[in-house]
Chains A and B, each alone.
Chain A
Amino acid sequence: MRSSVSWLRLRNTLTGLTKIHVSTSSRRWIFSSGCAYQQAQPNSQNPVFFDHRPAQLSVTPLVDTSVPAHLPVVNAKRTTITRPREHTLDHEGFYYCVPPEQSDVIYGMSPNSGAFDMRHRTLQNLRFQWELAKESAIMIRKPALEVMEYVKNTNFAHPVVRYVIYGREGSGRTCTLTHLLHFFKDEGFILLHVPKISIWSRRYKEVQESKFKPGRIDLPLDSVEWLQHFLLQNGEHLRQPNTKLVTHKTYVWSKREETPAGSPLSDIIDVGIKRARYANDCIGVLVEELKRIVSESDHRVAVVMDVANALFTPTTIPQVDKTTVPADRLSLFLHFRKTLKNDWKNGVVVTTIDRKGIVDLPLRFDGGGNQFPRYLLREEGWAVMDPFIPVLVNDYSDKELTNCIDYNIETRWLQHVNAGTQKGRDELKVVSQNNPETLRKLMSRL
């Protein structure tokens, strides 16, 4: 009640607000104040998205002469260190920018990169912010630094260590994963990145019966998308000449199609991308082969999985008898569960857990408070993941909150007259309760 009153007050004091209309159908942005970051006109052949390439790494603050004079000039705290390995607790709360050449490969924000639809659906808030600011800025926060520290200290001859990132809704678990993705890419890991498991249980595209094991359910189009995503993130490893990533036995897809032993893993992926019917089985093969290969070679695999607890909760895919498909019959889930076990080496598993988008009856009636790992993983997830290292993501500290507001003023996303004042900041702090997601939603209207 209190927060809603404050919010109304905040809305009522609006003066000189620059309206931004976002036309979602054509993805064209028009800035009514005249300062437009995006000027190109869209057409059906070449839809306009922000292209990172011409923008250089923005370390100095953006200064735009077309910005109204009442807006304060604020510089957010940033660091020029772009190697996540070198980030320390001294940089906590600072922003850093992922170099565009890496950002494109890891996060694939350009529409030309494969699996665009999946990426768009899973990372859209971040994508929106990055397009707007013309840079892939990530705030350096403690949970990511913590996991990096552990990974640096890990003996990779030991079984893989599992990390479960948990925290309140909107506290920045997925953003922690983006920082870690950059870290793993920078360290030369093969990324086995699943952007959001729960989209497969709720927002699936096409459903078919598995041919490999009767009774299982395949999601061919979603699997093709994920294979494209995997290929884009790990092209440099897979396309290497004389790569060690080769199959150890022959896989027969049909009477005429087979992949002989010793062929590179990219062949398996190509089969999956070209023949959607086999895409699910290709993912299964890929997971098995990767686990086997990296345990014996010097390659390292980082499994980065958002909303991993969805692997153990039922889906909404309907069946003929009016029931829904349980989690242990969706072949994608079964394949990715194998990566969470610690029966392989030379790898690391980083997962998050979430309540949102989970099709689980108890979660609807539990009051919504419990975010803890054992509760969300349930019996099955616990049996697979234990022992893991839980990593808590807290809401913004005051330092982080200040820097986040500074960044948004600097990039002219926050244009309210009171934005730069102490009063405005205090109000944002109180209304958002230091929660990053709430703060983002608040600022998107100011």
Chain B
Amino acid sequence: MALAARLSLFSGTATSTTRQTDWIRLFASVPSNLRDEAITEATEFRTLSLNPARKERRKFEERSNRTPDLLPPRSQKMHVDQDWTNVWPTATSFKPSVVPLPVRMGFAYKGANPDKYGNAELMKIPNFLHLTPAAIKKHCAALKKFCTPWPEEIADDAACDRYFPAQVITSTYCHSGTSIRNSKYRIVSYKVPLSRLNLDSHARDKFLRLLGDRYDRHTDQITIITDRCPTRKQNYEYAKYLLTALFHESKKTEPWEHEKAVADFERFKWEGSPSEAAATNTVKEILTSSTASNEPTSEDISPEEVKQFEEVQEYQRAVSDMLNAGEHQDSVERYKDAVKTMLRLGRFS
């Protein structure tokens, strides 16, 4: 059944060929005014006009490329010594006829970038043509009568750091997009030297532990960067809060902090170390057993005095250096020299 239906459909199509021929003729490359003639004079031989007559072509060309007679752009008449702030007094979008600069912007697949005329890209972006040095100078001159003189004490940067140790760094961005605002403007960096906080050794240690990697020991700067609040003001206040909280937290001594043992010390501490006791006892013993008359006897010498001897001091430096900076050939040799001097052994060459 299906095959028979298909066959009938095929035969039906074949019967309508003559009508289709008429329909196709409508699309011949013949002007519309002539089309009726063409249909009627079906027997006449027609030419395909691929290359129209020169006269017709000229008529088409004259129609285009006609520019109206306009005044030349204002920028071409400007003097080089004119006052730009009068030309461009406030913030406004780019006008190609006013700006006497051959600026180009945008992208072209072939050829140079589009020039300033009719350039939408130049109009989209914010410009700072109203903030030229001359404009700022004028602005400052206008503001000057409201200013007080610069304090003489803050003559240089060092003095400035001394009187104003805290440093707040923010950045303002101009965003090239639908909104001029950039979310990075809210970020606040709060910097202050650690030495200006006047912490004792315990508080300093704790402060540094709480700070983590926010302390630069080369410049002695604490840097707190806050960006979690939506506005700059909130972030600035949050940074100040953090610094205050850290400061007071580090001044506290928790009960568990007394459990810190020698092994937990960050650096070797000479005071109270076994090395100190050993060196003091040894030197005192040497002085006691020394037979030389010019040496003071042990009764006269307290351990504190022993620690002030140059030999013991050098030994202290050598031990601290060796244990803090790690053992290497130089530090071990320095330790050896210090011990030899302390134990009064000769030099071996």
Q: Which residues of A contact B (CB under 8 A)?
A: 89, 145-146, 149-150, 153-155, 157-159, 161, 342, 345, 370, 372-375, 379, 382-383, 386-392
Contact = CB atoms under 8 A, between A and B. Distances in A.
A159 B327 contact: no
B322 A374 contact: yes
Given A159-B285, A387-B315, A389-B340, A370 B345 contact: no
Contacts of A374: 322-323, 327
B274 A388 contact: no
A389 B332 contact: no
A154 B339 CA distance: 13
B74 interface: no
B335 interface: yes
Interface in B261-300: 263, 274-275, 278-279, 282, 285-286, 289-291
Interface in B320-339: 322-323, 327-329, 332, 335-336, 339
B209 interface: no
B344 A155 contact: yes
A154 to B, nearest CB: 7
Nearest to A342: B282
B289 A345 contact: yes
A180 to B, nearest CB: 14
28 contacts: A89-B349, A146-B348, A149-B346, A150-B345, A155-B289, A155-B290, A157-B289, A158-B289, A158-B343, A158-B344, A159-B282, A159-B286, A372-B332, A374-B323, A379-B263, A382-B274, A383-B274, A387-B275, A387-B282, A387-B339, A387-B342, A387-B343, A388-B339, A389-B339, A389-B340, A389-B343, A390-B332, A390-B335
A390 B348 CA distance: 13
A168 to B, nearest CB: 12
Main SS of chain B's interface residues?
Answer: helix
Contact of A389 (B274, B291, B323, B345): B345
Nearest to B335: A390
Contacts, number: 73
A389 B336 contact: yes
A161 B346 CA distance: 13
Contacts of A386: 274-275, 278-279, 319
Contacts of B348: 145-146, 149-150
Contacts of A149: 346, 348
Interface residues of B, number: 30
Contacts of B263: 379
B225 to A, nearest CB: 38
A373 B339 CA distance: 14
Given A373-B332, A389-B340, A390-B332, A158 B346 contact: no
Contacts of B286: 158-159
A299 to B, nearest CB: 17
A387 B285 CA distance: 13
For the complex of A and B, list the 7 residue pairs with the smallest distance between their C-beta atoms, beginning with the closest: A372-B327, A157-B289, A383-B274, A153-B346, A387-B339, A146-B348, A158-B286
Contact of A158 (B285, B323, B340): B285
B277 to A, nearest CB: 9
A385 to B, nearest CB: 9
Given A386-B275, A387-B278, A388-B339, 7 more contacts: A89-B349, A158-B344, A374-B323, A379-B263, A382-B274, A387-B282, A392-B332
Nearest to B284: A159
Nearest to B263: A379
A426 B62 CA distance: 98
A287 B319 CA distance: 30
Contacts of A392: 329, 332
Nearest to A150: B345
A171 B323 CA distance: 25
A391 B332 CA distance: 9
A386 B346 CA distance: 19
Nearest to B327: A372
B217 to A, nearest CB: 25
Contacts of A157: 289-291
Nearest to B319: A386
Nearest to A376: B327
A349 to B, nearest CB: 12
A146 B333 CA distance: 14
A392 B342 CA distance: 19
Nearest to A380: B274
B207 to A, nearest CB: 28
A389 B332 CA distance: 9
Contact of B336 (A154, A375, A390): A390
B328 to A, nearest CB: 8
Nearest to B345: A150
A395 to B, nearest CB: 14
Most buried by A among B279, B328, B332: B332
A145 B349 CA distance: 10
A383 B263 CA distance: 13
Contacts of A155: 289-290, 344
A150 B346 contact: yes
Contacts of B346: 149-150, 153
Contacts of B279: 386-387
A388 B343 CA distance: 9
Contacts of A379: 263
A229 to B, nearest CB: 30
B274 A370 contact: no
Nearest to A155: B344
A159 B289 CA distance: 9
Most buried by A among B328, B329, B335: B335
